[in-house]
Amino acid sequence: MTDFQHILDKNFMQSITSVGGEVYFVGGCVRDALLGKEPKDIDIIVRKLSYEVLVAELKKFGKVDVVGESFGVIKFKEFQTNFEIEIALPRVDSKDNNSTGHKSIIAQSNPFLSIEEDLFRRDFTINSIALDSNLKYCDPYNGIEDLMNGKINATNKDAFKDDPLRMLRALQFAARFDFDIEEQTLLMISEQRDSIKEISPERILMEFEKVFSKNGNIRKFNSILKSTKLFDSIYGFAPYIFDGGVNTASNLGEFLFFTCANQLEFKNVHLFLQEKFKIDNSTVKIVRALEKFYSELIYDKPLISEMDDLFVNQVLFDVLQIYPLAYQLYSLQIDFEFFIEQKYPKSLAELALTGEDMVTKLGFKQGPKIGEIRRALLNEILCDKLQNTYEDCVGFVELNFAVE
């Protein structure tokens, strides 16, 4: 658990209060501590000191990285311990209607704003809680109650007008904490969903990625994305009805592929995502691998026609849900041309153990059982349980099938 008192006892904090500064811990560190989690970052607000005085005090004890006087934000790293903290003056945010996205937000710091005014500008009530230097909570918007009840609730009615990205933050918080979005807040997202178009693709993908990097509930995230129609506003088309691959995605590449693959030709998915979201090279690799897998293996009609219907239904349908075989093929960065052409047999005809071998060398009688055994072999090889060698195939057959 975060030891807030230990931080308050540090020399730089003592110096700030000795010259009249009023200190509050705010935001995610307070929220996470209330949830029993260890916060990644510590943020504090200092009231009643000018920006210049605050910077001068901090420079006595560590390295000061000044973000900007209008924002009133300072990144501070303590000498010797390298302890890092973000310190800011209280501020209010307003919107420039002549700009869009984050550029439209005008922040103005004011050391004499009340802590309640600073908390009011924040996105959600669970992030609008402060802890003062006496370790007492300042919770003017009932954030602790929402936190205990598992609710994501907008702090004010203009929360999404001021910053449309907060709509996606609501979804990823709900997914990460397994919280529900409060009804009025959900309605605000639905009504203002088109304003998400003001936000850059890179920032949208950052919120998507946090769901995976922080072990969020993908099913919940996807469900709210669809129900609020944020999906439509972000992608430019409605989601496909089948959610199997989306809900079981384990990384951003899978999620992006399955959210739009059924609405596009497989070969065009990565092109769409590159243009729409500016996805990075590692994500492109995953998406292209999945394109190859689905377009050249699963939907290759000659291949499927040579396989048993039961195999197609049981194994390939599982792969449609992005289960182990698909993982093996792209997560290990196997060259797909190599997969298609060489490493795995594409049909019974490419098995190392032929039907003739089974009759002449293993003693099986001609008949449907030979086909059954060879289809089982193909299944084992495609699932990486066997190598396609004569020796491995013979060993599998002798272990699992008796000659009649």
pLDDT at 1: 54
Residues 233 and 248 in one domain: no
Query: What are the residues whose beta carbons fall under 8 Å from the beta carbon of 355, sequence distance 6 or more?
Result: 370, 371, 374
Provide the 10 A C-beta neighbour count for residue 306.
15
Provide the 10 A C-beta neighbour count for residue 361.
12
pLDDT at 258: 87
Provide the 10 A C-beta neighbour count for residue 189.
27
pLDDT at 303: 42
pLDDT digit string, tens, across residues 307-347: 444 343 344 444 444 333 444 444 444 444 444 455 567 66
Residues 171 and 296 in one domain: no
Section 381-396 average pLDDT? 85
The answer to whether 137 and 130 have CB atoms below 8 angstroms apart is yes
Residues 62 and 6 in one domain: yes
CA distance linking residue 346 with residue 340, whole number of Å: 7
Residues 137 and 27 in one domain: yes
| Cα dihedral value 180, 185, 188, 190, nearest 10 | 10
Nearest alpha carbon to residue 16 among 4, 24, 6: 24
Last residue of a domain, one of 295, 316, 341: 341
Residue whose entry in the numeric block shows the structure tokens 């704003």? 113
Residues 109 and 144 in one domain: yes
Residues 80 and 142 in one domain: yes
- Look up the CATH number of the domain holding residue 354: 1.10.246
Residues 318 and 383 in one domain: no
Q: How many domains does the chain have?
A: 4
pLDDT at 310: 39
Residues 137 and 173 in one domain: no
The answer to whether 91 and 109 have CB atoms below 8 angstroms apart is yes
Residues 265 and 391 in one domain: no
- Look up the CATH number of the domain holding residue 204: 1.10.110.30
On the question of pLDDT at 182 being above 50, the answer is yes
Last residue of a domain, one of 237, 262, 286: 237
0.75 surpassed by pTM: no
Residue numbers of the domain that contains 143: 1-149
Structure-model confidence comparison of residues 27 and 344, the more confident one? 27
- Look up the CATH number of the domain holding residue 105: 3.30.460.10
CA distance linking residue 77 with residue 66, whole number of Å: 12
Last residue of a domain, one of 149, 175, 199: 149
Residues 124 and 170 in one domain: no
Q: Percentage of the chain with pLDDT > 70?
A: 80
Residues 163 and 190 in one domain: yes
pLDDT digit string, tens, across residues 196-220: 999 999 999 999 999 999 999 999 9
First CA to last CA distance, the chain: 67
Residues 337 and 352 in one domain: no
